[in-house]
Chains A and B, each alone.
Chain A
Amino acid sequence: MSSNTSISATFGYSTGRPVTFPEAKFDFSGNSLAYFDRRNEQRLPDFHRLDLAVNFKLKGEGWFYDGDWTFSILNVYGRKNPFSLFFVDEFGAPPQALRLAILGVPLPSISYAIKF
Chain B
Amino acid sequence: MFLLFLAVSCIDPFVTESIEGPQMLTVEGMVTSGAGPHVIKFSRSADYGSIFKALIRPVSGATVVVRDNLGNVIFFTENIVDRGSYNSPANFSAQVGRSYTLLFRLVDGKAYSSFPETLQAVPELDDLSYQVVTIPVEGETNPRSGIQLIGSFSDPSDQNNFYFWRNDPSVYILKTRPDLFTIRPPDADDRDPDPKDCCDTCFKTELVGNESIFIAQDDNFNGLNTKVPIGFVEDDGLRFIQTFRIDVKQLSITQRAYRFLRLVKQQNEINGSVFDPPPANIRGNVVSLDNPEETVLGYFMAAGERKKRIYINGQDMSFRQNVAIVPDDCREIDGSDISPPIDWNP
Contact = CB atoms under 8 A, between A and B. Distances in A.
7 contacts: A21-B16, A25-B45, A33-B264, A33-B282, A82-B14, A86-B272, A104-B9
A35 B45 contact: yes
Interface of A: 20-31, 33-37, 39, 80, 82-87, 89, 93-105, 107
Given A28-B28, A30-B211, A97-B16, A22 B10 contact: no
B79 interface: no
B13 A96 contact: yes
A105 B7 CA distance: 11
Given A23-B21, A26-B26, A96-B13, 17 more contacts: A21-B48, A24-B24, A25-B56, A27-B28, A28-B26, A33-B268, A33-B282, A85-B272, A86-B272, A95-B46, A95-B49, A96-B14, A98-B272, A99-B12, A101-B11, A102-B9, A103-B5
B278 interface: yes
Nearest to A33: B267
If over half of B's interface residues share one DSSP class (helix, strand or loop), that class is named, otherwise mixed; here it is: loop
Contacts of B14: 82, 85, 96-99
| 6 nearest CB pairs, A to B | A24-B45, A86-B272, A94-B51, A99-B14, A104-B10, A36-B279
Nearest to A101: B10
Contact of B279 (A27, A34, A80): A34
B46 A100 contact: no
Interface centre among B47, B210, B267, B274 (most CB of A within 10 A): B267
A35 B16 CA distance: 16
Contact of B48 (A29, A34, A84): A34
Contacts of A22: 19, 48, 279
A37 B45 contact: no
B243 interface: no
A25 B26 CA distance: 10
Contacts of B4: 107
A24 B13 contact: no
Interface in B24-41: 24, 26, 28
Nearest to B45: A24
A98 B11 contact: yes
A2 B49 CA distance: 55
